[in-house]
């Protein structure tokens, strides 16, 4: 069978399974998640064996250390998968909830019911634990899933898929509700993202290159996460200690995450007070600074920032620093150079905080908090499948609700249009 017809068959089975999943009881979905956790617990030896095969192949194929690290299913990572399944089981079920049911002048009642999206295709790179994370969230939201992991993780993904299938079966749900693409042929991705009859949305998880390619070629909506060029703006009315703490935390808490600050903006009125101290704390943390001219006048150690620095996601101990004259210039800079991900102001001023919140066009806008809070767990979504930089559908951290849609519900008593 060629790849195209293989993928169409997966799609047809997923579409069929999605109808059954859409009406599955909350209790049954939770049972499936619990049974999957049990199957993974019981299958630790098999998972470890499959993962060793992938690692051996990876070494033979010359994968680099970072790639091999992401590929490895350590006992701790298996624990996290099991724990994750139980957490998703504990989340409230969004499906079927009805909101805003109101009477209209015609006499009908109109409201909205939350419903699954249908079939979700997940495309991801090496980390096999994504298989469980993605499948569990999609399942709880009543969707069927087609998972396409990296070819380097194929044995691990198959072993995990067997545990997922066992959980679904024990709970009386269709095993085809979660399908792992069994071929490593790259054409499978091309087919998956161009069959709107069978797939309702694609969620790519991986590097920017993968996501851009998929967005360009997809004929299906894509919930995408591109870069995070996040800012902290220290306003002239900032409290000094809050400003230093937030600016340090937003940059140094973790370097490789999308909600890490990449550019610090400081109001000219307080630059002389703030920058020397900030220079010290960043120096101690080992952060390289790249500043505008006014920054470098106060911090001679800082390297000169080029125009390109303002729109670079370093994901590293490097920080661009710019002195701006007031709120308007800060907002202008953020909307122009940022990636509309997460941006924060530090200020005690009511009017300026209010303007920042309204006028900065980002998926998360913050006052006096570290950009590192932009996260599904921190926001109370329970879990996240990613952080969307789109404006359409889901924006910011995407939890269960981002994997659902709504439909209108109309109740009448024989009502007809006049």
Q: Which residues bind its own copies (CB under 8 A)?
A: 19, 22-23, 96, 102, 104, 106, 108, 110, 113, 115, 117-118, 200-201, 216, 219, 221, 239, 241-242, 245-246, 248-250, 253, 335, 344, 355, 357-359, 361-370, 372-374, 378-380, 390-393, 395-397, 405-417
Q: Which CB atom, from 164 or from 223, has the smaller least distance to its own copies?
A: 223
- To its own copies, the closest distance from the beta carbon of 19 in angstroms equals 6
What is the residue whose two structure tokens read 């729109």? 311
Query: Rounded CA gap, 133 and 262, in Å?
Result: 28
Query: Rounded CA gap, 335 and 340, in Å?
Result: 7
Alpha carbon 121 to chain centroid, angstroms: 15
- To its own copies, the closest distance from the beta carbon of 136 in angstroms equals 21
Backbone angles phi, psi at 174, to 5 degrees: -65, 135
- To its own copies, the closest distance from the beta carbon of 195 in angstroms equals 13
CA dihedral 132, 137, 139, 140 (to 10 degrees): 130
Q: Which CB atom, from 176 or from 249, has the smaller least distance to its own copies?
A: 249
Q: Which CB atom, from 166 or from 200, has the smaller least distance to its own copies?
A: 200
Query: Rounded CA gap, 285 and 275, in Å?
Result: 15
- To its own copies, the closest distance from the beta carbon of 251 in angstroms equals 11
Q: Which CB atom, from 292 or from 369, has the smaller least distance to its own copies?
A: 369
- To its own copies, the closest distance from the beta carbon of 53 in angstroms equals 37
CA dihedral 347, 352, 355, 361 (to 10 degrees): -40
Q: Cα dist. 214→120, 385, 399 in Å?
A: 14, 17, 21
Q: Which CB atom, from 126 or from 364, has the smaller least distance to its own copies?
A: 364
Q: Which CB atom, from 82 or from 95, has the smaller least distance to its own copies?
A: 95
Whether residue 197 contacts residue 10, with contact meaning beta carbons closer than 8 Å, is answered with no
- To its own copies, the closest distance from the beta carbon of 42 in angstroms equals 33
Query: Rounded CA gap, 96 and 405, in Å?
Result: 10
Joined together, the tokens standing for residue 363 give 């998926």
Joined together, the tokens standing for residue 270 give 């307080």
Q: Which CB atom, from 138 or from 305, has the smaller least distance to its own copies?
A: 138
Strands 386-388 and 396-398: antiparallel
- To its own copies, the closest distance from the beta carbon of 117 in angstroms equals 6
């Amino acid at each position: 069978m060629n790849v195209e017809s293989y993928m169409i068959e997966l799609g047809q089975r997923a579409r069929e399974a999605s109808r059954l999943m859409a009406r599955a009881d909350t209790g049954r979905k939770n049972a499936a998640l619990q049974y999957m956790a049990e199957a993974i617990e019981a299958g630790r030896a098999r998972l470890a064996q499959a993962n060793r095969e992938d690692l051996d192949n990876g070494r033979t194929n010359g994968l680099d250390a970072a790639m091999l690290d992401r590929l490895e299913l350590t006992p701790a990572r298996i624990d996290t998968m099991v724990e994750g399944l139980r957490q998703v089981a504990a989340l409230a079920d969004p499906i079927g909830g009805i909101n805003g049911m109101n009477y209209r002048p015609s006499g009908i009642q109109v409201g909205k019911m939350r419903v699954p999206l249908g079939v979700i295709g997940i495309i991801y790179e090496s980390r096999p634990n994504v298989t469980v994370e993605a499948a569990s969230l999609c399942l709880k939201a009543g969707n069927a899933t087609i998972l396409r992991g990296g070819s380097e993780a194929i044995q691990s993904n198959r072993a995990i898929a067997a545990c997922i299938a066992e959980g679904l079966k024990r709970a009386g749900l269709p095993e085809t509700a979660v399908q792992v693409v069994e071929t490593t042929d790259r054409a499978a991705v091309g087919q998956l993202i161009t069959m709107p009859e069978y797939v309702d949305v694609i969620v790519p998880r991986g590097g920017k290159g993968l996501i851009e390619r998929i967005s360009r070629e997809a004929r299906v909506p894509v919930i995408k996460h591109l870069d995070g060029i996040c800012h902290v703006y220290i306003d002239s009315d900032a409290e000094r200690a809050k400003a230093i703490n937030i600016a340090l935390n937003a940059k140094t808490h973790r370097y490789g995450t999308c909600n890490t600050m990449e550019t610090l903006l400081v109001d000219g009125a307080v630059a002389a007070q703030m920058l020397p101290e900030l220079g010290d704390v960043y120096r101690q943390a080992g952060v390289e600074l790249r500043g505008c001219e006014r920054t470098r006048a106060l911090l001679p150690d800082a390297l000169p920032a080029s125009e390109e620095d303002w729109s670079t996601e370093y994901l590293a101990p490097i920080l661009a620093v710019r002195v701006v004259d007031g709120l308007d210039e800060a907002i202008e800079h953020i909307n122009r150079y940022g990636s509309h991900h997460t941006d924060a102001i530090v200020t005690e001023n009511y009017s300026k905080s209010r303007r920042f919140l309204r006028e900065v066009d980002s998926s998360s806008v913050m006052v006096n908090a570290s950009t590192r809070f932009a996260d599904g767990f921190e926001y109370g979504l329970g879990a996240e499948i990613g952080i969307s930089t789109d404006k359409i559908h889901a924006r910011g951290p995407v939890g269960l609700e981002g994997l659902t849609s709504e439909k209108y519900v109309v109740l009448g008593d024989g009502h007809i249009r006049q």
